[in-house]
Copies of this chain bind each other. A is one copy, B any other.
Amino acid sequence: MAVYTDISDEELAALLARFDLGEALAFKGIAEGIENSNFLLETTAGRFILTVYERRVRAEELPYFLGLMGWLADQGFPSARPVADREGQVLQTLRGKPAAIAEFLPGLSARRPTVAQCRQAGEGLAWLHQAGAGYPGRRANDLGQAAWAGLFAGLGEAAEALKPGLSKVVAADLALLAAGWPGDLPAGTIHADFFPDNVFFREGRFAAAIDFYFACDDLLAYDLAVTLNAWCFESNGDFNVTAGKALIAGYESRRPLSDAERAALPVLAHGAAMRFFLTRLADWGRTPEGALVRPKDPLEYERKLAVHRAGLSILADRP
């Protein structure tokens, strides 16, 4: 949860004066998103989310992210469409920070996804990949496989502090991933953070995806691997085979995987666990005592790394 920026009546009124959205009827900070401040804004024209971009999101990248959200909505995919002001501008400034207004999408995220929701999530992800095809924006994945060795440099001590001996194991993983990383699979625009928090359901069906601020160009099957890791592990660290199969089946109901993609899933999922392990490890060490946002435990992804290292998921199985 996070609301870092307080918006005064005058600031909100000045912002709305740039738009054709009528007058504000309600305005509430919402406890959603770790990196940005989000507000539910109701006006005489409807309901919207106002986002003020705080740390991490680089202002120069916002046109890519906001453009993608609009592109997906244009293709009929349920993504919140950014709203342009009277001059056609989507990107705004509030308190010196970048900000944008997007449509409000109803829906509930799943705190503990069921197998049926995993299937729906897989289908939603494939839909996103199909709808994203043709988006002209380009953004390299700065947290992709090529970046991991660099991310790990300087984190050896933090890894040891987390678990003695871990630094060597991670270094070996990184070598393995570098050697085995597939280069020739279908690529495109991926979400790259398709976690349960970022997916809405309505009446049991996939209803929307939000939070596109890690989206980038990368392998489509890598996005599926990130999603499998985020949705299909039990809290005790075990991979839930039934959930994993359902998620892949849901994905393939819209976009069947090639044999090469299917064969690469184990290494992609191993790598996807590495990516979140590394950024959580970095955040863990960096967060000052008494900070308002608690970093996520890197041990969760250390366990996922171990499962994939040992080939204990179903992903190595042929269908």
Taking CB atoms and an 8 Å cut-off, the chain A residues in 20-74 that contact chain B are 23-32, 40, 42
A27 touches B108 (CB 8 A): yes
A108 touches B289 (CB 8 A): no
Does B3 lie within 8 Å of A31, measured CB to CB? yes
The answer to whether B40 touches A9 (Cβ under 8 A) is no
Interface: A138 (CB within 8 A): no
Inside 8 A of A202's CB, which chain B residues have their CB?
Answer: 25
CB-based nearest B residue for A203? B23
Number of copies: 2
Taking a contact as CB atoms under 8 Å apart, the answer to whether A28 and B32 are in contact is yes
A311 within 8 A of B: no
Q: List chain B residues, Cβ under 8 A from A27.
A: 108
Complex Cα gap A108–B3 (Å): 17
Task: Check: A6 CB closer than 8 A to any chain B CB.
Answer: yes
Counting CB contacts under 8 A, is A112 at the interface? yes
Contacts A40-B40, A203-B23 given; indicate if A1 touches B108 (C-beta within 8 A).
no
A292–B1 CA distance with the chains assembled, in angstroms: 11
Given A1-B3, A31-B3, A289-B290, A24 and B112 contact (CB-CB distance below 8 Å): no
Interchain CB contact under 8 A, B25 and A108: yes
**Which residues of chain B are within 8 angstroms of A106 by Cβ–Cβ distance?**
25-26, 42
Any B CB within 8 A of the CB of A236: no
- Write the nearest CB–CB distance from A311 to chain B, whole angstroms: 32
Tally of contact residues, A, Cβ under 8 A = 31
Q: Report which of B8, B25, B110, B203 forms a contact with A9, defined as CB distance below 8 A.
A: B110
A30's partner among B9, B10, B31 (CB-CB below 8 A) is B31
Are B10's CB and A112's CB within 8 A? yes
Are B1 and A29 in contact (CB-based, < 8 A)? yes
A318 at the interface (CB under 8 A from B): no
B-side contacts of A286, CB under 8 Å: none
- Which B residues are CB-close (under 8 A) to A112? 8-10
CB-CB under 8 A from A98, the residues of chain B are none
A33 nearest CB across to chain B (Å)? 11
Q: Jot down 20 A-B pairs with beta carbons below 8 A, ordered by A.
A: A3-B31, A6-B111, A8-B112, A9-B108, A9-B110, A9-B111, A9-B112, A12-B108, A23-B203, A25-B107, A25-B108, A27-B108, A28-B31, A29-B30, A30-B30, A30-B31, A31-B31, A40-B40, A42-B106, A290-B290
The 6 closest A-B pairs by CB, nearest first: A290-B290, A29-B31, A3-B31, A8-B111, A26-B106, A25-B106
Residues of A within 8 A of B (CB): 1, 3, 6-10, 12, 23-32, 40, 42, 106-108, 110-112, 202-203, 289-290, 292
